[in-house]
Amino acid sequence: MIQAVFSPTGGTQAVADAIAGSMPMQKVDLCGEVEAQAVGVPVLAVLPVYGGRLPEIAVERLRHLKGQGQAAVAVVVYGNRAYEDALAELKNELTGCGFRVIAAAAFIAEHSIVRSVATGRPDTEDKLLAAEFGRAVAAKLVAQDMSEVTVPGGEPYRDRPVMPVVPLVLENCGACGKCARLCPVGAIPLNAPNTTDAEKCILCMRCVSVCPRRSRLLPTPVLSGLTQRLQAVAAERKLPQLFV
């Protein structure tokens, strides 16, 4: 089985690994370039939700995998607000790539921007449900059951959110270039890692999470505004939704 994951800050990968359990997986990192390839095994595709949609760059790279009628599992991971059209979008993209989506799910991970929302998730309960979901998927594959699932959401999709800001860079930046090397969209020049291309940045927060000096952060007014808007969401524990 192939595990295709876009996980800039690690939460989506944690969900993907919990679903996979002990199943052998060939990993395809959608945070980097992906070669076009015909796929002869099932695919577990796990992508984060940004504003109710999938990250466009992750979708573009996922399209390089051609399914040839193979089974696929569509999973989205969101920060406890809502996943809206993202799961339907992922199912449709996989179908367009030639896969049959036999299972799907929506899981929760700690919000990548407002870390006080869904803090620590996926937690033990989430991972147990993910493992249970993985076993159900494995059983369906063993039974050669290729019946497809229906998921919430649909077209026309909501508009992708416009990123209002890029991370600031503090004076203690050591110009090590780690953020530039790991940026999924190439928004940080390697020769000027204290800058960010606002046209390319998708606010995935990877640069903030990997900086060894904590030199990158969002402007305080922006973070405060987002925190206030998400306070009501933070108070409610959303549960994973499974479709098998």
pLDDT at residue 161 tops 90:
no
Residue 43: predicted pLDDT:
98
Euclidean distance between CA atoms 39 and 41, whole angstroms: 6
Residue 142: predicted pLDDT: 96
What would the mean pLDDT of 156-174 be, rounded to a whole number?
A: 92
pLDDT of residue 25 exceeding 80: yes
Q: How far, in Å, CA of 197 to CA of 211, rounded?
A: 17
The residues that bridge with 73 in the sheet, in sequence order, are: 44, 103
Reduced to 3 states (helix: H, G, I; strand: E, B; else coil), residue 47 is strand
Task: Walk me through the domains of the chain, giving residue ranges and CATH numbers.
Answer: 2-157 (3.40.50.360), 168-217 (3.30.70.20)
d(CA 33, CA 42): 20
Among the listed ranges 19-23, 156-160, 197-201, 232-236, which one has the minimum average pLDDT value? 232-236
Predicted local distance difference test score (pLDDT) of residue 39? 96
pLDDT for 47-97, tens place per residue?
999 999 999 999 999 999 999 999 999 999 999 999 999 999 999 999 999
CB 2 within 8 A of CB 28: yes
Read out DSSP for 43-67? EEEEEE-BTTB--HHHHHHHTTEE-
Residue 101 and residue 176: Cα distance in Å, rounded? 42
Rounded Cα distance between 208 and 165, Å, is 13
Judged against a pLDDT cut of 80, whether residue 138 lies above it is answered with yes
Contact (CB, 8 A) for 199 and 189: no
Structure token digits, residue 51: 């504003």
What is the rounded average pLDDT for all residues in the chain? 95
Q: Mean pLDDT throughout 111-118? A: 93
Residue type at 207 in one-letter notation: C
The residue-averaged pLDDT of 180-185 equals 98
Provide the percentage of residues in the chain whose pLDDT is more than 70.
Answer: 100
What does the DSSP 8-state code read for residue 122?
Answer: S
Q: Give the model's pLDDT for residue 235.
A: 76
d(CA 228, CA 65): 40
What is the token pair recorded at 112? 């990548």
Evaluate if residue 125 carries a pLDDT over 90: yes
CB atoms inside a 10 Å sphere around CB 87: 26
Q: Is the pLDDT score of 118 beyond 90?
A: yes
Q: What is the mean pLDDT of residues 142-155?
A: 95
Q: How confident is the model at residue 9 (pLDDT cuts 50, 70, 90)?
A: very high
State phi, psi for 76 to the nearest 5 degrees.
-115, 150
Are 201 and 168 in contact, with CB atoms under 8 Å apart? no
